[in-house]
Amino acid sequence: MLRVGAHESIASGVYKAVNRQLDDGGNCGQIFTHSPQVWQDPNIGDDEAEQFRDLSSENDVGPWVIHSSYLVNLCTPKDDLRAKSIDSMQKEVDAAAKLDVPYVNVHLGAHTGAGVEGGLDNAASALDELEIPDGVTVLIESDAGSGTKLGGDFQHLADVLAKSDQDLDVCLDTAHMFAAGYDLSTPEAVDETMQAFDDVVGAEHLKCVHLNDSKHECGTNKDEHALIGEGYIGEEGMRAFVNHDLIEDVPLVLETPTEDGKGFAWNIDRVKKLRE
């Protein structure tokens, strides 16, 4: 079964995300547990957590992913930011366990002068400080690769998985991959890119895809999402990607914009029509 959904709001209660997902035609999805722009703890009551679990189960919506705060920087050499990042991630994996959400997604962050190897070492050791509950897995997300941000190169993902003692997996973002220089605009390019991922990281580690088109050309390191099939990846590339053998059983989560009257529902329907 095709698992496709969107990143939904938890406004007025985390369980509201389930109904929003159903309204958009999705059957899996992603949430923030709080505003991603500030340091804030998840504040999810027992009753609303139970409603979220029950509604998801009753309507066969899942898997869900929690996206960590944008402020988290696992690669940082700064002790205070590292401590805040670890604390934030611990609260996210605990919230995931409370909600029966199997995945917490996180960007590696920026090394800000520590160097690539130093940043990757920092990220792995920060992740090793987490007490990850049973049934929860941290997913390292691929990045667009601008500045000193790490995760744009598949090797960065593989290195963190190898360096860490945790059982980690990966979330690929199509717009980020494309921005980082991995072409997805033709069937041949999709084959080449996904073979590279399998060779470097291993397809068995791919547990989620953020499915987004790109408003910028391949290799620009510019992270700006476009409607499915209407960016530089385009319809041909998106069709090839969602039908690729390595994607067949991987949940697809949309973080597409709302433009020209086209929101999540339109994009989810587009993906369903592209899937052959």
* Predicted local confidence at residue 128, as pLDDT: 98
CA distances from 74 to 107, 118, 137, 174 (A): 8, 11, 16, 22
- For the stretch 119-156, pLDDT in tens is 999 999 999 999 999 999 999 999 999 999 999 999 99
pLDDT interval class at 276 (50, 70, 90): confident
Q: How confident is the prediction for the chain on average, in pLDDT?
A: 97
Angle, helix 116-128 to helix 154-163, in steps of 10 degrees: 40
DSSP per-residue letters across 228-260: TTSSSSHHHHHHHHHTSGGGTTS-EEE----BT
Residues 41 and 32 sit within 8 Å (Cβ to Cβ): no
- For the stretch 223-250, pLDDT in tens is 999 999 999 999 999 999 999 999 999 9
* Predicted local confidence at residue 124, as pLDDT: 98
Euclidean distance between CA atoms 45 and 256, whole angstroms = 29
* Predicted local confidence at residue 161, as pLDDT: 98
**Burial label, 143 (beta-carbon count in 10 A; 0-12, 13-18, 19+):** buried
Residues 139 and 174 sit within 8 Å (Cβ to Cβ): no
- For the stretch 9-51, pLDDT in tens is 999 999 999 999 999 999 999 999 999 999 999 999 999 999 9
Q: What is the DSSP letter of 200?
A: H
Residues 9 and 17 sit within 8 Å (Cβ to Cβ): yes
Percentage of residues in the chain having pLDDT higher than 70? 100
Residues 123 and 76 sit within 8 Å (Cβ to Cβ): no
* Predicted local confidence at residue 143, as pLDDT: 97
Euclidean distance between CA atoms 230 and 72, whole angstroms = 31
Backbone angles phi, psi at 262, to 5 degrees: -110, 115
Give the structural domain span for 106.
4-274
What average pLDDT does the segment 78-87 reach? 98
For the chain, how many structural domains are there in total? 1
The alpha-carbon radius of gyration of the chain (Å, integer) is 18
Residues 183 and 150 sit within 8 Å (Cβ to Cβ): no
* Predicted local confidence at residue 211, as pLDDT: 98
CATH number of the domain that 181 lies in?
Answer: 3.20.20.150
Reported residue count of the chain is 276
* Predicted local confidence at residue 97, as pLDDT: 98
End-to-end CA distance of the chain: 12
* Predicted local confidence at residue 183, as pLDDT: 98
List 262's β-bridge partners, or say none: 259
List 229's β-bridge partners, or say none: none
Closest of 223, 224, 233, 219 to residue 189, by C-alpha:
233
- Residue 241 carries which side chain, given as an amino acid letter? F
